[in-house]
Amino acid sequence: MAAALQPVRGTRDIIGDDAARHAHVVETARRVTALYGFSEWQTPIFEDTRVFSRTLGETSDVVTKEMYTFDDRGGDSITLRPEGTAGVCRALITNGLTQTLPQKVFYQGPMFRYERPQKGRYRQFHQIGVEFLGPSIPLADAEVIACGWQILNELGIAKDVILNINTLGDAESRDNYRTALVEYFKSHEASLSTESLTRLEKNPLRILDSKNEGDQKLAAGAPLIYDHLTESAASFYANLKSALTAFGVPFIENPRIVRGLDYYNHTAFEFVTTALGAQGTVLAGGRYDGLVEQMGGRPVPGIGWGSGIDRLAMLLATAPTATPPVVVIGDAAGIKIANFLRAKKIKTELSFQSGLKNGLKYANRLAAKWAVLVNEDEIILKNLDDGMQSSITLDDILARLSK
């Protein structure tokens, strides 16, 4: 016998309780984002590779090491999407929506990155996210963050999560800060990792995000961006914090949250938890006012976040319980009853087991409270909790079930 086929490393089947948790996260996010006025968009799972190489940086780890990229039969370079923002911004341009702002977008679906699988991280993973395109004021940033906070609250996991915020300033602030960082790290050049030496020339802010222990010790003494903000950037940040307080969202300031690419500005934030072991990010985002223009559109400010469904699902205390069905036992004679109950929006299963005894066993396995026993002459409604049963008419069955 041939060996049984297994899922590809870094992928998994989402079934049973995992599927219930996954669906609960998506349904909660869909409901909450709708309260904030977000509309759901679906973009393709694969895009022209330039959609991601332009936006994530040609030299970034995602582009150089983690993207699933291939040439299709027509010779075009195609990439499975590694994140959601670039596709949404591409869709904004493609569909001529840069003239119809603001646009508030919710998305959900699978993403793909070739990286080492670990707890809560897969090569095919799933995300929810929002993008708010158009406004350039701190109130928009605060509302986007508040929307994420409400989702975490309604999932019952906010108690395990803390919001970290930072500012990246405006372009002038970042230039000033970059100069200060280069000066500082050059004075410690001999202690930097090889990777950070490369970043020192190309993108010194990325050194602050290094995972190397030596780099982290150096970064702890690096200058802070707060000392290099322009007056307008400092005002933006102060107004963001005031708005978050008005929304009732608790936060701490973390000057080490950075975004390496130049189209990011002002707000950067992460919701982090230690409930999954080592500190992990469960929802993160920031402001990216230069992204749409970099992709070939006109300048459109944007703010958004993404969150891993797989990690959120792991934080749920229990799997959501499904509504138990009414089980109809009676072969073909039960079809009329099943049709009637389903038309009334009552979850109903037909028993495909042979005989009454096996049908009742099936109903118990489904944790059903009610079974409808049907033959040609009679309909019997049976309460599976106490074993009581009585003859009933089709007209009265709804009234009895509601009691």
Q: How many angstroms separate the CA atoms of 255 and 275, rounded?
A: 23
99 and 243 in a single domain? The answer is yes
Order of strands across the sheet with 77-80?
46-48, 77-80, 69-71
331 and 298 in a single domain? The answer is no
If one compares 277 and 37, the residue with the highest pLDDT of the two is: 37
* Other Cβ atoms closer than 10 A to 362: 18
pLDDT above 90 as % of the chain: 64
pLDDT single digits (tens) 298-356: 999 999 999 999 999 999 988 888 889 999 998 777 888 899 999 999 999 999 888 88
Q: How many angstroms separate the CA atoms of 107 and 306, rounded?
A: 9
Burial degree of 327 (CB within 10 A; 0-12, 13-18, 19+): buried
Q: Of 257, 289, 315, which residue constitutes the final position of a domain?
A: 315
251 and 380 in a single domain? The answer is no
Report if residue 133 sits inside a domain.
yes
**Closest CA relative to residue 220, chosen from 232, 235, 210:** 210
| 160: amino acid identity, one letter | D
Whether the full predicted model's pTM is greater than 0.85, yes or no, is: yes
What DSSP assignment string belongs to 180-221? HHHHHHHTTGGGS-HHHHHHHHH-GGGGGG---HHHHHHHHT
pLDDT band at residue 212 under the 50/70/90 scheme? confident
Inform me whether the pLDDT recorded for 132 exceeds 80: yes
96 and 26 in a single domain? The answer is yes
Q: Looking at residue 266, what is its pLDDT? A: 96
Report if residue 109 sits inside a domain.
yes
* Other Cβ atoms closer than 10 A to 308: 23
* Angle, CA 273 vertex, CA 314 and CA 264 arms, to 5°: 110
Report if residue 5 sits inside a domain.
no
Q: Looking at residue 56, what is its pLDDT? A: 81
Within 248-346, residue ranges assigned H as helices are 291-294, 309-315, 335-343
Report if residue 186 sits inside a domain.
no
Structural domain count, the chain: 2
136 and 34 in a single domain? The answer is yes
Q: Which helix (H) or strand (E) holds 81?
A: none
CATH number at 244 reads: 3.30.930.10
382 and 244 in a single domain? The answer is no
Q: How many angstroms separate the CA atoms of 80 and 90, rounded?
A: 15
pLDDT band at residue 13 under the 50/70/90 scheme? very high
Q: Looking at residue 277, what is its pLDDT? A: 67
**Closest CA relative to residue 264, chosen from 250, 283, 284, 239:** 284
* Other Cβ atoms closer than 10 A to 160: 16
User: For tokens 């909660």, what's the residue?
Assistant: 28
pLDDT band at residue 100 under the 50/70/90 scheme? very high
Range of the domain at 146: 16-170+230-315
pLDDT band at residue 71 under the 50/70/90 scheme? very high
309 and 342 in a single domain? The answer is no
Q: Looking at residue 190, what is its pLDDT? A: 80
389 and 309 in a single domain? The answer is no
297 and 331 in a single domain? The answer is no
Average pLDDT over residues 208-213: 81
Report if residue 214 sits inside a domain.
no
Inform me whether the pLDDT recorded for 58 exceeds 70: no
Average pLDDT over residues 160-181: 93
pLDDT band at residue 59 under the 50/70/90 scheme? low
Report if residue 81 sits inside a domain.
yes
Average pLDDT over the chain reads 91
Q: How many angstroms separate the CA atoms of 312 and 309, rounded?
A: 5
Report if residue 4 sits inside a domain.
no
Q: Going by C-beta distance under 8 Å and a sequence separation of 6 or more, which residues neighbour residue 101?
A: 133, 134, 300
331 and 308 in a single domain? The answer is no
Q: Of 295, 315, 335, which residue constitutes the final position of a domain?
A: 315
Q: For the ranges 87-91, 235-239, 377-381, which has the lowest average pLDDT?
A: 377-381
Strands (DSSP E) along 279-376, which ranges? 280-287, 302-308, 326-329, 348-350, 370-374
Q: Which range has the top average pLDDT, 131-135, 170-174, 270-274, 295-299?
A: 131-135
Average pLDDT over residues 260-284: 85
pLDDT band at residue 403 under the 50/70/90 scheme? low
CATH number at 386 reads: 3.40.50.800
Report if residue 219 sits inside a domain.
no
160 and 283 in a single domain? The answer is yes
Inform me whether the pLDDT recorded for 60 exceeds 70: no
336 and 397 in a single domain? The answer is yes
Q: Looking at residue 109, what is its pLDDT? A: 97
Inform me whether the pLDDT recorded for 260 exceeds 80: no
Q: Going by C-beta distance under 8 Å and a sequence separation of 6 or more, which residues neighbour residue 178?
A: 204, 205
Q: Of 292, 315, 338, which residue constitutes the final position of a domain?
A: 315
